[in-house]
Structure 1
Amino acid sequence: MPKPFRLVSTIFLHKPYLYHVHIRFILLVLLLLMVAGCQTTMTPETPRITGRALLWHGWSDGEADFLEQLVDNFSAINPETRIITIAVPQGELLAQYQASTAQGIGPDLVIGSSDWVRPLVDAGYIRPIQDDAISLDDYRSNTIAALRYQDEMWGYPMALEPVALYYNKDLVTTVPRTLDDLLLDVNEEKSIAFVPRFEEAHWGVQTFGDGLFDEDGNFTLATSGFREWLTWLNEAQSNAGVILNRDGTTLQRLFIEGKIAYYVAKPTELTTIVEAMGEDVLGVTWLPAGPEGASGPLLPVETMMLSTASTKSQAELAITLARYLTNTEQTRTLMRTLNRVPANRQVLVDSRVHPLISGFSQQARTAVTLPNDLDRQDLYTVGDLTYGNVLSGVKTPEEAVCDFGLAVIELQGYGPESYELPPGCSVESPNE
Structure 2
Amino acid sequence: MANGTDEASPTVATLVRLSVPAILVGVVSGLGLFLVEEAAHLLKGVLWTDLPSLFGLDPDSRWWIFAVLSVVGLTVGLICTFAPGRGGRDSATVELLAPPIPLAAVPGLILVSLLVLAGGVSLGPESPIIAINTAIVLALVVRLWPRIDMRLVVLMTAAGTIGALFGTPVAAALVLTGVVATASTGGALWDRLFLPLLAAAAGSLTMRMIDGPQFGPTEIPPLGAPHPSDLLAGAAVACAAALVILAGAAVFRPLHASFRRLRSPLLYTTLGGVILGCLGAIGGPVTLFKGGQQMADLVRHADEHTTVQLLLILAVKLAALLVAATSGFRGGRIFPAIFIGAATGLIVASLIPEVPLGLALASGILGAVLAECRDGWIALFIAAVVVGDISLLSVLCVVVLPVWLLVMRAPKMLIPTASKQGVSGSSV
Regarding TM over 0.5, the answer is: no
The alignment's TM-score, normalised by the length of structure 1, stands at: 0.25
Bigger relative contact order, structure 1 or 2 (CA pairs below 8 A, ≥6 apart): 2
Which protein is richer in strand relative to its size? 1
Greater radius of gyration (CA): 1
